[in-house]
Amino acid sequence: MSNRYDVVIIGAGSVGLPITTYLAESKKKVLCLESNFSFGQGNNKKAIGGVRASHSDYGKIKLCQRSIEILSTWESISGNEIGWLSNGYTFVAYNEKAEKTLKETLQYQVALGLNTSWVNPETLDELIPGIEKRGLIGGTYSPDDGSCSPLLTANAFFFKSLEKGATYRFQEKVIDIVFAHGEFTIKTNKNEYVALFLVNAAGNHARTISQLAGFDCPVQPESHEAGVTDAVQRFFEPMVVDISSAPGSSNFYFYQYHEGPVIFCITPDPPIYGTDSDATSQFLPLCVARMLKVYPRLKNLKIRRQWRGQYPMTPDGFPIIGKMKENSHFIQAVGMCGQGFMLGPGVGELIVKIIDNSLSEDDLKILQSFDPYRDFKGMEAFK
């Protein structure tokens, strides 16, 4: 078989799999290279599965709205079960600073047509029976947000892409990239491939791949931990997010997965940079203490396990998506800041439009948020 392709994608994870799928669906000859032994073996299998459009930025809101449309209808259209739940998201406020941030963001979200509203403590107690109401001011509630299984979703995208003609090569690490005469030569530890376009969707390794192609991108992996309890009967619906800072953490969140366990995560403060995936002894005491203050009803659940993954972070908390000016054949789809799973489907469709030069005015507005050449001086409110 010829090693010449229309597009080569580097990375078969939460972002690379949808990109590969939609490019193959658009009749491109597509190759996805992955250094791991299978697809979804990086941060995809460490994701907790939340998918929300309730962001503070136009680009993220629009891409995640499309992701929700794709994932919420996946089973009805394709027949593949991915564990989708329209369980919603709620951001709670226990202090005036959080209240101010949430209400300001809410105005923007509503202006863009999101089904999001401010709810009082009594309504929150109906959504999350037994939530701690002492000090609870209220919160935002977005019922159209949801969740699904990262493992089942990766599996669904992988097999759909194969049906559409995509090719994968696993255990192939990219070691050199050369652009000459309008095409790339991509050298791995096993083979060489030629492509008209190259898409960087390498997650933790985004900066290395970018540098091999002659560019730099400010993506730095940041370690986060998560945990999961034993499965129990459903007793609350929305993902609960507390954006208040506390000693050792800047926020935390938890929800009940479609199969019954409660999955939880915390954002360390200060950040822990690097790719160390060993679980720590600090995570559970820190996260559980915060969870029980907000939701004491969790106290009798048995924790099954914990794990550690990475958020490939940018300085401002926004992804880097788009063509490089110096070489429009090299396309970045990196720095998802821990939100690659929820952004991935929307990003996949957008990359097809970038390559086909078929971007709409709305697409161009979306891409402004993710411009590889921005100054990175802003800050995502809900990163």
- For 112-161, the pLDDT digits (tens) are 999 999 999 999 999 999 999 999 999 999 999 999 999 999 999 999 99
Q: DSSP for 298-351, please give it.
A: GGGPPEEEEEEEEEEE-TTS--EEEEETTEEEEEEEE--TT-HHHHHHHHHHHH
Closest CA to 208 of 198, 195, 218, 222: 218
Reported as a single tens digit per residue, the pLDDT across 317-345 is 999 999 999 999 999 999 999 999 999 99
pLDDT of 206 > 90? The answer is yes
Q: Is the pTM of this model over 0.95?
A: yes
pLDDT of 244 > 60? The answer is yes
| Beta-carbon count within 10 A of 112 CB | 13
pLDDT bin (cut points 50, 70, 90) of residue 377 is confident
Predicted pLDDT of residue 144: 97
Q: Percent of the chain scored above 90 by pLDDT?
A: 98
pLDDT bin (cut points 50, 70, 90) of residue 22 is very high
Reported as a single tens digit per residue, the pLDDT across 209-222 is 999 999 999 999 99
The structural domains of the chain, ordered by start, are 4-49+151-219+316-368 (3.50.50.60), 85-144+221-313 (3.30.9.10)
pLDDT of 241 > 80? The answer is yes
pLDDT bin (cut points 50, 70, 90) of residue 2 is confident
Closest CA to 1 of 185, 191, 197, 173: 191
Q: 343 near 370, Cβ under 8 Å?
A: no
Predicted pLDDT of residue 378: 77
Q: 241 near 142, Cβ under 8 Å?
A: no
Give the 3-state DSSP-derived string for 133-197, with helices as H, strands as E and coil as C.
Answer: CCCCCEEEEECCCEECCHHHHHHHHHHHHHHCCCEEEECCCEEEEEEECCEEEEEECCCEEEEEE
Q: Percent of the chain scored above 70 by pLDDT?
A: 99
| Beta-carbon count within 10 A of 191 CB | 11
Predicted pLDDT of residue 42: 95
The residues near 328 (Cβ < 8 Å, ≥ 6 apart) are none
Q: 131 near 295, Cβ under 8 Å?
A: yes
The two three-digit tokens of residue 26, written as one number: 């658009």
Reported as a single tens digit per residue, the pLDDT across 102-113 is 999 999 999 999
Most distant CA atoms of the chain, gap in Å: 67
Reported as a single tens digit per residue, the pLDDT across 46-94 is 999 999 999 999 999 999 999 999 999 999 999 999 999 999 999 999 9
Predicted pLDDT of residue 105: 96
Q: What is the mean pLDDT of the chain?
A: 97
Distance CA 19, CA 27 (A): 13
